[in-house]
């Protein structure tokens, strides 16, 4: 009889320990999910703390219940980096047992006219377009479906280094291997050609625009071509 009581007591204690362990594990998992500290390296446009928390907790719940020491932080980072608008993500374990995540969003530098419309960044990466009233960016159009956006993104960054072009650039076209521009304040099309000798071409454009501002004889042109050495070739309709 004493032996049966001893077995019963042992079984009871094992059940209690298992229950306490399970409860503690569940409580710890819930606490970890609710304790995610999110930092953005610049004011966010595409994401917020709630959406990042949701992505992380969805990934957690997909994993089996486990001790926090075995949590794969690199897996969580990779999951976040799959989001097109995220350029970089770093996940850290806090001493308190929660998580901290640092998010760097991509910065849109131009709009790609496509279906659907996309943003492009300075590195040529693309991500979904969202309309922002305070964001005015040049639009890129092309008839070349196989063209790489890396060279176009690099060209736009170089064009923006000049304050005049940065203010005036409205649309950049790529037809074959030839780049063309449309400016905001001038009606003519600007044939830029290749990105080579860009500074020289920008200076010729600025001189031509300056003369047009003061001389009526330079008005009425439909297209100006900057690809010729030491001259601007202007054509009328």
What is the domain partition of the chain in residue ranges?
34-105, 110-235
Q: How far is residue 14's CA from residue 20's CA, in Å, rounded to a whole number? A: 10
Q: Is the pLDDT of residue 106 over 90?
A: yes
Question: Which tokens sit at 179?
Answer: 């780049």
pLDDT at 219: 66
The CATH architecture one would assign to domain 34-105 is: Roll (3.10)
Residue bearing the bigger pLDDT, 221 or 124: 124
3-state secondary structure of 82: coil
The answer to whether 34-105 and 110-235 have equal CATH topology is no
Strand-pair category, 99-105 with 118-120? unpaired
Taking Cα atoms as reference points, which of 186, 226, 174, 178 lies closest to residue 204? 226
pLDDT at 84: 95
Q: How far is residue 66's CA from residue 29's CA, in Å, rounded to a whole number? A: 8
pLDDT at 148: 77
Report phi then psi at 173, rounded to 5: -110, 150
The pTM (predicted TM-score) of the whole model is 0.77
Between the alpha carbon of residue 128 and those of residues 68, 107, 112, the distances in Å are 34, 12, 10
pLDDT (average), residues 127-146: 89
Choose which CATH entry (3.20.80.10, 3.40.50.620, 3.40.50.11690, 3.30.67.10) describes domain 110-235: 3.40.50.11690
Residue 183: pLDDT band by 50, 70, 90 thresholds?
A: very high
For 187-206, how does the pLDDT look when each residue is reduced to its tens digit (9 = 90+)?
899 999 999 999 999 999 99
pLDDT (average), residues 206-218: 79
pLDDT at 67: 47
Taking Cα atoms as reference points, which of 120, 140, 138, 136 lies closest to residue 128? 120
For residue 190, the number of C-alpha atoms closer than 13 Å in the C-beta half-sphere is 25
pLDDT at 22: 41
pLDDT (average), residues 167-192: 94
For 220-237, how does the pLDDT look when each residue is reduced to its tens digit (9 = 90+)?
789 999 999 888 888 887
For 25-72, how does the pLDDT look when each residue is reduced to its tens digit (9 = 90+)?
444 444 444 468 899 999 999 999 999 888 887 765 544 334 455 567
The answer to whether the bond into 116 is cis (omega within 30° of 0) is yes
């Amino acid at each position: 009889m004493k032996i049966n009581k001893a077995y019963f007591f042992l079984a009871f204690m094992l059940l209690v320990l298992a229950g306490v362990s399970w409860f503690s594990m569940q409580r710890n998992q819930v606490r970890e999910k609710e304790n995610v500290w999110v930092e953005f390296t610049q004011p966010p446009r595409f994401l917020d703390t709630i959406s990042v928390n949701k992505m992380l907790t969805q990934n957690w719940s997909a994993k089996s219940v486990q001790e926090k020491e075995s949590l794969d932080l690199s897996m969580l980072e990779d999951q976040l980096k799959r989001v097109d608008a995220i350029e970089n993500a770093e996940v850290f374990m806090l001493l308190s047992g929660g998580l901290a995540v640092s998010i760097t969003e991509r910065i849109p530098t131009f709009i790609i006219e496509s279906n659907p419309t996309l943003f492009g960044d300075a590195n040529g990466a693309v991500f979904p377009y969202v309309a922002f009233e305070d964001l005015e960016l040049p639009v890129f159009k092309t008839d070349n479906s196989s063209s790489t956006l890396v060279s176009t993104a690099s060209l736009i960054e170089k064009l923006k280094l000049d304050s005049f072009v940065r203010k005036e650039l409205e649309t950049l076209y790529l037809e074959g291997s030839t780049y063309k521009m449309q400016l905001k304040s001038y009606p003519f099309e600007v044939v830029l050609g290749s990105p080579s000798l860009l500074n020289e071409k920008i200076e010729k454009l600025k001189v031509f625009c300056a003369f047009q501002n003061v001389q009526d004889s330079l008005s009425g042109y439909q297209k100006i071509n900057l690809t010729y050495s030491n001259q601007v070739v202007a054509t009328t309709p």
